[in-house]
Structure 1
């Protein structure tokens, strides 16, 4: 007994790094980001899983009295930590987006008198929703638990890739109900549901589908729902047809009728339960058919062992988290890091059945041959750091994601790569054509087990598609004119960067003709720079800059999710040329300094619905992605130590372990990927190149698992005070510049930072 106690005491004194191998999932807190504007969800899923089984705390209408309802923005992931009620548990969710959709197939267990409407948060007893407490709530990778206080029902959720597994522990009652709400969803507005269909196969098996016209305008999801116990009664309410007409009027369709169809259908299934009895539900999804959903269900979870599915899900998470084994001084920092990895591995999501079948952009069914088909591409966000992160620690998945993008291109009537796509739909959201960046980054870094020449063709055709978002003007004039196409400066700058990516790819593949075409286009950023003001500025079709100009305003100034201050620093392909354009280091450095120290007027926050003061440092907007590379720009000046200072400040201010621990939308993992790279001490300022800019590692040691090789990063004497790099040694050689290459990492080896409390102004020579 004494020996065991001594062993435990010794174990407790070991550094966190030594303990992480046993259970890294212990550090993940999915509740982080569920408060304010993080827009994450706390429910159960597996890495890159097709099912995201999570609670909804409200379903607000997209419009009220014919106008946009601003409160709906809070519910992009369906869950807000401050809410007091739960309306049910649905199977599809975005993580951290600034737009909403999904929330398919909401299930709610209830007892007592049957109610088939959700009620309201202020009057929950008017519907099937229930109050709950965070004290009874548990959120872990692959597992979620909460008690529904209204009904004394314990809810537990877990999942495989394509199947959600519910376990509800009921009290003794003759009035136990499972409500299946096919009307509920995120991004609710009139006529979202095009059609829903439910078929009762037998007393334990239900199949059906849902077609919606939401953000994705033609979206189909099929399901198979299996109960562990037969129901003794079932029924439905079709809110679009209170009186049944025509031939179907011959039947009483409200009770025990085996088919239910309509735009606004809610179904229910009744049980009698003993005290503590568990009713389990397996709910499988398919993008193709109910037959595919059944095959997914029977293949992935052929049994009723809830604990096994939970253990399997958490083992999958453990395997992915072990791709980086890190030593951090504080437990909260371990939580932040591994939760960031968790969020980074939520999307893109699998979009095919177990046999490879999936629905394509052309609305036909296809087979993914030799790759996993993925969806949910928030590319305006994720090209910056998430996909570059995948090229390091998820290369196979990233290559499959590129192949998914190429399949999208092949199925596109426009012959364009995806912009913002999900569930066989293109949403055309945000600016640029950043699939190009993701593809070029993979090709340049040697992670291209696909037809690279076909990929180049797809990139080129995308960049030449004149009908897309001002591209015709851009190709003719070298910029997008603001009087012809809004957000013109953002588009010009982003097109120029993407064109540079195409040029690099063309050069590597020996297409000098394309290289010359697109390297010329990549210099178009100069065409919207106004030397008179020192900012990128909207230019009109007559070649003159727009007269009314405010560098701080975000609305109607030629920018999207940023202002002139932010976007004037967006030339990732040519940082040296940008600095020279802005007057050289003597003017650029004070300009960059002031970005972090200036005070924004109240009007700025009134203009932006998705940014709170919590997500801003000065005029540096970490909650919106155009600034994510900015702190690293000092590396192209003689003051790289300011990068080290800034990134450590951002880490502390923008991330913590509370439910509001993200300083803005996580945007499908981009915010989290920034955190991971920056904590490790390097960042991909310009995806499409093989270069990473060094920063200030906020850890003691980390080992990256790289398909048989390892890359170890050590920060000696690192602390909250010792944020400045004194020296960097790569495999025994002292670096003379604050950069490393992709090959430096992937070849394996050791990178050692020596840290100190004061800037080493000559540490890179």
Structure 2
């Protein structure tokens, strides 16, 4: 009897553990959040950090109209806008939440009836292959998207593996069913973005090819292999750009079922006869190297044709990642906001290598990632602030691989520079600073290192001394970037100074004190653009004088990028106490900081800043622009830390909602989401490169962090409510926390961080 009881107890324990493992976090994720207005997210299917991000495109407007920049094109950075009534098709690559765009490769669209090889227009979709759709028939989940294409009565379903997009289309009975493959399509259509495309029909179920583009990424080639679950009955191509006589090619009749075609502007069609409710499965694999590798990716990752099995596998991957933080919230809406933020945070960077480890490098040669996964899509001006620190905490192994990818980039660079904003074997040089050094420093300082730390520090030093990069030589010589030599000079100076500080922190951790001294001195260069006569950061000229024409609220040509002087005058995360002292001490600083959240902006601010809506602004605090992300935590460095708690809870409520327009700005490859996650948990990486987190006001009742070292860190919040936003007491493992910080190393040890909340501040 005793043995039976023991066996029953073991069985119950196994069931309990199994039940915990099976908890469904997917139910709280809504990929449609952020697809309306400014979020620039996409609703389609992808696995965590997947190379294929397969999603519907509702439109892609031309970059220019009538020879002038088309401002409406900005809406389509992710290819999808919730308010649009039609879908053009489903393409395989997307950015999530960016303020710039590219990609949108290899658009597929199923149709029936008369063959049409142009997309038509949104107001007259019947003139092309696009289709009307309704959100009532649309469904979006992690690694699954479906929608009914009303015009042709076709159910479209999408799922993915890391490198393969899987389409399942349920057709009505038709003698004329078609699959359109559009190689002209692309997001952010620059004039002549397509350089060359090639399609080859290998047999009646296999098609291969590639696409070369010159868009935001100047030299980009993507290869593909596509298979059909059913043999095609016929196929054809259409070139939308004529070419002169091609000599011996005229010996072939290329008008019907000719097995290959090349050109800049190509579309292809593959034809079928379908029975009522017949499903056609398409598997579409990508490779940065070759069609051979694309086919190997396809065969390795999707050996079968079971759509539901592939979907289940992808969703299990998502559930595993989402389970790394288990929260209890006040309501289901907060659960949705939190887990959707985690979902968005795990969309990029993206895997950039084939199953065999090969990828095309920055030097346009084929390389092999040995012992690590190679990644791309590094929006570092955004993501160094909170996303990579979040990875250091929750995804440390992946963050190590991302850093090794950055180091490989640096070795392949003719400038020997770490990435600034890179994707698909290209450096876009977008935004200011060289913030990969902050990502590397943050990992070194926090002890998350599986790479050669001294080699990585050397790469940081090399990057910080490329004198011909964006005014860096003048910055090193003068201590600031002059506005009459470089635009955005103040932003650039401030961001260089922060990056220098982060290098110094890594050097101190590695006991390289000569490097530490050099870069700590450089990190004080922020003082050189502070004008004490105005109390603001101000553009300085090469003769040493401050620029005369100056508007602290203007964003137009004033020396700042994605912000104004009022915002950037608070951007000194490496030395907040020094900044407060220089600005006249707390007595002057606190009213200045308060006014940021309460002031009224003039109309010209909105007229100058096309990528900002009034919905995303609190006073002059623009949450959608990353230089402000640390600002609410500045009160912690004053005698009024309770205002940090108050502001954080206000921002969480105002800038994040579980709705399609629920993001108060571009998600920027997960940075906005990472800010939400940290701030909801109650702490934030104020200065990446430091081991310290600043405490805020948690917005959950409880959270359990499953750390990669096997330990758990629990956040327990007492007296939580929408009114109780102030922290009356903080305990770490039962001991009072003095001050406003906790350390990364304390979290890694595991334990319990307890907040006691109150309706009034202390």
Residue 176 of structure 2 corresponds to which residue in structure 1? 175
Residue 358 of structure 1 corresponds to which residue in structure 2? 359
Matches within 5 A, 1:597-676: 597-676=598-677
Q: Deviations over 1:163-210 (max 9, x none)?
A: 000000000001000000000000112211110000100000000000
Q: Do structure 1's residue 194 and structure 2's residue 195 form an aligned pair?
A: yes
Residue 452 of structure 1 corresponds to which residue in structure 2? 453
Residue 260 of structure 2 corresponds to which residue in structure 1? 259
Shift, 1:732, TM fit: 1.2
Residue 45 of structure 2 corresponds to which residue in structure 1? 44
Shift, 1:66, TM fit: 1.5
Secondary structure of 1:221's counterpart equals: strand
Matches within 5 A, 1:682-761: 682-707=683-708, 708-760=710-762
Secondary structure of 1:209's counterpart equals: strand
Q: Check the 8 A contact 1:21/1:322 in 2, yes or no.
A: no
Matches within 5 A, 1:18-37: 22-37=23-38
Q: Deviations over 1:617-662 (max 9, x none)?
A: 0000001100000000000101000000000000000010110000
Matches within 5 A, 1:79-478: 79-241=80-242, 245-478=246-479
Secondary structure of 1:150's counterpart equals: coil
Distance 1:745 1:133 in 2: 46
Distance 1:254 1:499 in 2: 61
- Note closer, same or farther for the CA distance 1:20–1:724 as it changes in structure 2 (3 Å cut): farther
Distance 2:751 2:703 in 1: 12
Distance 2:243 2:170 in 1: 34
Matches within 5 A, 1:512-661: 512-661=513-662
Secondary structure of 2:544's counterpart equals: coil
Distance 2:118 2:23 in 1: 45
- Stretch of structure 1 that moved more, 384-393 or 242-251: 242-251
Distance 2:63 2:212 in 1: 18
Q: Deviations over 1:226-275 (max 9, x none)?
A: 00000010000011127754221222223111111000000000000000
Distance 1:679 1:68 in 2: 39
Q: Deviations over 1:477-528 (max 9, x none)?
A: 0000000001000000000000001111111212222111111100000000
Q: Check the 8 A contact 1:665/1:671 in 2, yes or no.
A: yes
Secondary structure of 1:396's counterpart equals: helix
Secondary structure of 1:58's counterpart equals: coil
Count matched residues: 743
Shift, 1:65, TM fit: 1.5
Q: Check the 8 A contact 1:109/1:176 in 2, yes or no.
A: yes
Distance 1:738 1:504 in 2: 21
Q: Check the 8 A contact 1:167/1:279 in 2, yes or no.
A: yes
Secondary structure of 1:662's counterpart equals: coil
Q: Deviations over 1:682-722 (max 9, x none)?
A: 00010000000000000000000002000000110011100
Shift, 1:122, TM fit: 1.1
Shift, 1:602, TM fit: 1.2
Distance 1:361 1:652 in 2: 42
Secondary structure of 1:482's counterpart equals: coil
Q: Deviations over 1:252-311 (max 9, x none)?
A: 223111111000000000000000000000000001100100000000000000000110
Distance 1:609 1:344 in 2: 25
Distance 2:747 2:591 in 1: 33
Distance 1:189 1:531 in 2: 45
Distance 2:249 2:191 in 1: 25
Shift, 1:583, TM fit: 0.5
Report the aligned-residue RMSD. 1.0
Secondary structure of 2:668's counterpart equals: coil
Shift, 1:19, TM fit: 8.9
Q: Deviations over 1:561-615 (max 9, x none)?
A: 0001100000000011010010001111110000000000111111111110111
Gaps of 5+ in 2: 1-18
Q: Check the 8 A contact 1:48/1:346 in 2, yes or no.
A: yes
Structure-1-length-normalised TM-score: 0.96
Shift, 1:735, TM fit: 1.1
Residue 510 of structure 2 corresponds to which residue in structure 1? 509
Shift, 1:20, TM fit: 10
Q: Check the 8 A contact 1:194/1:263 in 2, yes or no.
A: yes
Secondary structure of 1:522's counterpart equals: helix
Secondary structure of 1:484's counterpart equals: coil
Q: Check the 8 A contact 1:61/1:187 in 2, yes or no.
A: yes
